[in-house]
Every structure is written in C-alpha cells, then in structure tokens.
Chains A and B, each alone.
Chain A
C-alpha cells in the first residue's frame, strides 16, 4: 500500500505500475525476481519501456524520501536516453524540493553532470563542486565532486 495521496498521484502520472506479491503472485514473483535479481521486499524498480532497469529502491522509505527516489529514478532514465536537459531539471527538482533527503546530494552531483553533458561546458562541474563546499559537505558525493574544484 502507498497510503499517501502524493505518492499515488506521482505513480499514476509517471508510471505503469506493476505489483508482484510474494504470496499472491508467487510464480510471477519467482520469475520476475530472478529476471531482475530482486531478493528482498519491498524492492521497487523503475524499468524503461525497453525493459531495462534504470533505478532500484530497496526497503521502506518515508514519503518524502520515496518521492525523491522516484524522481531520481526518472532523472536517471532521462539521462540514460541522452535527454540531458530534461534529466538535469529532474535532478535539480530532487535537490531543491527534497533537499533534506539522502537523494539530494546524489541529485546535485548528477545535475552538474547532466548540465555538462548537455552543454559541454566544464563550468557546470566547477559550479557543482562549489555548491558542495556549501551543502552536503560530509557526503561521498561531495568527495566525488571535489575533483572538479578549480
């Protein structure tokens, strides 16, 4: 169950949702579990229309964190399609609207990468490194961005 209306609306707007229940759909759970290597519940996968997994969420998350992860997944899917500006907008949405979640620093990092891929302007990476000097300084994403410092 996703009792929060914001999650219901988000899923309805962006996804074709499929539920595979460990008991009620045991055969499908076994087959799809093997296909996607899902070994725990809840496991939520964002799969593109070619059947390629683009994002994975394992375990329960509170509403804001879950929405952040779903948006992050959409962003990664756009990135994988080479739609870098669309991906950047989604990554920035995670960083801005879900700034207190653990997804935010990852999104901030990838927003910079997406901007760079869209524009070929290395300044996008430098700006990202500078942003990490102010926010999320203790995260692994800040460490990864540190190589972009001028």
Chain B
C-alpha cells in the first residue's frame, strides 16, 4: 500500500487566513516562497 507523505495545506489568501485565525489560539504563518511547487 502506498504511503502518502503528510503535507501542509496552504491557503493562498492572507486576509481569509486572518479571519480563520481570529478568535482561535492559532497564528498565521506566511511563507514567501520561490520553491518549485
């Protein structure tokens, strides 16, 4: 059986992420990247 590597589920919209984090204990991690997708 193939094992799928865990991956981060990235959002693309910073303001949506800000809204998601509001009222939770989470912070936003913004990754400015040039790495191959």
**Are the C-beta atoms of B27 and A74 separated by less than 8 Å?**
yes
Q: Across the interface, which residues of B come within 8 angstroms of A17, CB to CB?
A: 8-11, 17, 28-29, 31
Residue from B14, B20, B32, B35 in contact with A1 in the complex, judged by beta carbons closer than 8 Å: B35
If A8-B6, A19-B12 touch, whether A43 touches B32 (CB-CB below 8 Å) is yes
Main secondary structure on B side of the interface with A: loop
Q: Do A44 and B28 touch across chains, with their CB atoms under 8 A apart? A: no
Interface residue count on the B side (C-beta < 8 Å): 29
Interface size on A, residues (CB 8 A): 42
Q: Which residue from chain A places its CB closest to the CB of B11 in the assembled complex?
A: A18
Q: Which residues of A contact B22 (CB under 8 A)?
A: 49
- The residue in chain B whose Cβ has the minimal distance to the Cβ of A44 is B31
A41 touches B27 (CB 8 A): no
Instruction: Tell me whether A20 and B29 are in contact (CB under 8 A).
Output: no
Q: Are B30 and A48 in contact (CB under 8 A)?
A: no
A29 to B12, CA, bound (A): 10
Contact bitstring B1-26, A, C-beta under 8 A = 1, else 0? 00001111111111001101111101
**Alpha-carbon distance A106/B20, docked complex (angstroms):** 31
**Closest CB-CB distance, A48 to chain B, in whole Å?**
5
Interchain CB contact under 8 A, B21 and A42: no
> B residues bordering A, Cβ < 8 Å?
5-14, 17-18, 20-24, 26-37
The 7 closest A-B pairs by CB, nearest first: A19-B10, A15-B29, A41-B34, A43-B32, A49-B21, A45-B30, A47-B28
Extra A-B contacts (7), CB below 8 Å, given A17-B8, A43-B32, A51-B18: A18-B14, A20-B14, A22-B32, A36-B30, A41-B33, A47-B18, A70-B29
